[in-house]
Amino acid sequence: MKRIALALAFAALVVCAGCGKKQQQTGQVTEAPGKKKWVIGMSQCNLGEPWRVQMNKDIEEAAKQHADEIEVIFKDAQNKTEVQQAQVREFIQMGVDLIIISPKEARPLTKPVAEAYQKGIPVIVLDRKVEGDQYTCFIGADNVKIGREAGKYLVKLLGGKGKVVELKGLMTSTPGQERHKGFMEGIAGSQIEIIFDADCQWLEPIAQREMQSALARFPQIDAVYAHNDPSAHGAYLAARQEGKGREKSIKFIGIDALPHEGQRYVKEGILTATFEYPTGGKEAIETALKILKGEQVPKNITLGTRIYTKENVEQGGEPL
């Protein structure tokens, strides 16, 4: 059984390699750039997270729009740095036309990315940075801005005054620190008070447990600001399972706004608002096409955010 599978995999590889060669040859002969298909290698650091699944989906959908021009090969590094390093080198060996990478960690991936860049393969770095400047373009969102928008929204929502619980993401990670920093900037000058906070490590079950403690301690809670939607959802469940009906009076606010998570929770009235943390998948493909066609692109592209509330969720949110 195993042998058959191995043989099949090997055969597939041979066929693929053959196809690749043929395409290159025809491209050279006819010299019609419009007909040549560019191959893009995409290395995703961890497909265990829904947000990253969404990123790949966004890339896939954007690539489908240009199916006659590009082809994307997806690889999943399964949250292992050494696997991702190998993947970048595999792409270099394959001779892909462009690499998109969403790195697990900056430092260890700086070198492989630089190798590709120096060999003339353009590299687009998505979401998390690598060190130095040996890459073509970085596309990422601004967590401080998202946190700040969430803070400003909460000030408006509560009329400038209220008691808030903050359920943080992993505070040793940059997104957690930035979402907190931005939020504090957003509520600065108002009479909003953070009465309870906890590091929930992005995990819903932990958020649920921590929220129970907050509920036990404070008879009055006006709002919950969670660093991601699953944590906000967990907080809502804790309030509902308390059995005092407080889930109706407390406003829950989350971040990420994935279609099946945050956006759905807003639609169902569980969350009051969620702020999009864009994956940049679509922008990556658009930028890739520009690079491949020889156009200039900026070194840094910062993505905006969108707010989703009950009023605008059906229309796809509102840009901020």
Site residues, another protein (CB under 8 A)? 47-48, 50, 53, 171, 196-199, 201, 204-205, 208-210, 212-213, 216-219, 233-234, 237, 240-243, 260-261, 264, 267-268
- Smaller CB separation from another protein, 97 or 256: 256
Closest approach, Cβ 245 to another protein, in A, equals 11
Question: Hey, is 277 helix, strand or coil?
Answer: coil
Strand partners, 123: 99
- Smaller CB separation from another protein, 264 or 282: 264
User: Which residues, including other chains, have CB under 8 Å from residue 288's CB and lie 6 or more apart?
Assistant: 40, 70, 98, 100, 122, 124
Closest approach, Cβ 308 to another protein, in A, equals 15
Give, in order, the Cα–Cα distances in Å from 175 to each of 11, 17, 135, 185, 228: 43, 40, 22, 15, 10
Q: Which of 298, 309, 312 is nearest to 270 (CA)?
A: 309
Closest approach, Cβ 50 to another protein, in A, equals 7
Contact between residue 132 and residue 114 where contact means Cβ atoms under 8 Å apart: yes
- Smaller CB separation from another protein, 97 or 166: 166
Q: What is the DSSP string of 172-211?
A: TSHHHHHHHHHHHHHHTTSEEEEEEEEE-TT-HHHHHHHH
- Smaller CB separation from another protein, 120 or 243: 243
Closest approach, Cβ 2 to another protein, in A, equals 16
Q: How would you classify the pairing of strands 318-319 and 306-309?
A: antiparallel
- Smaller CB separation from another protein, 95 or 269: 269
DSSP secondary structure code for residue 49 in this structure: S
Closest approach, Cβ 152 to another protein, in A, equals 25
Q: Which two tokens stand for residue 107?
A: 């430092």
Closest approach, Cβ 5 to another protein, in A, equals 16
- Smaller CB separation from another protein, 150 or 207: 207
Q: Which two tokens stand for residue 28?
A: 């050279």
Strand partners, 73: 41
- Smaller CB separation from another protein, 97 or 261: 261
Closest approach, Cβ 45 to another protein, in A, equals 16
